[in-house]
Amino acid sequence: MIVKVCTGKTCSSRFSPYILKRILAEKAKYDTKNKSTIEECGCQGSCKTGPVIVIDGTLTDRMDPIKASNLYLERLKKKS
């Protein structure tokens, strides 16, 4: 599973660095089989509805650290 967190200017101003930090913490705690890759990415063109994350090519907008964490863990469970 590939997870990309937009760290473009607008998403960063809406706290995407905290989303990235939270997902990385969840990965360290729960992804013991290393089934996911977490990356920063540039603008995804959804600035008005950011911050955004992309999981396996599917963009999800209006994220906050808790929503993003829950979505990541939900998808990680499906991969197990």
For the chain, list the domains and their CATH numbers: 2-79 (3.40.30.10)
Confidence of residue 80 (pLDDT cuts 50, 70, 90): confident
The Cα–Cα gap between 79 and 12 comes to: 28
Does the pTM surpass 0.75? The reply is yes
Confidence of residue 66 (pLDDT cuts 50, 70, 90): very high
By three-state DSSP, how is residue 4 classified?
Answer: strand
**Contact indicator for 74, 38 with CB cutoff of 8 Å:** no
- Strand-strand pairing, 53-55 and 37-41: unpaired
**In this predicted model, what pLDDT tens digit does every residue of 16-63 receive, in sequence order?**
999 999 999 999 999 999 999 999 999 999 999 999 999 999 999 999
Question: 76-80: long-range contacts (C-beta < 8 A, 24 or more apart)?
Answer: 76/1, 76/26, 76/30, 76/31, 76/35, 76/36, 79/1, 79/35, 79/36, 80/33, 80/35
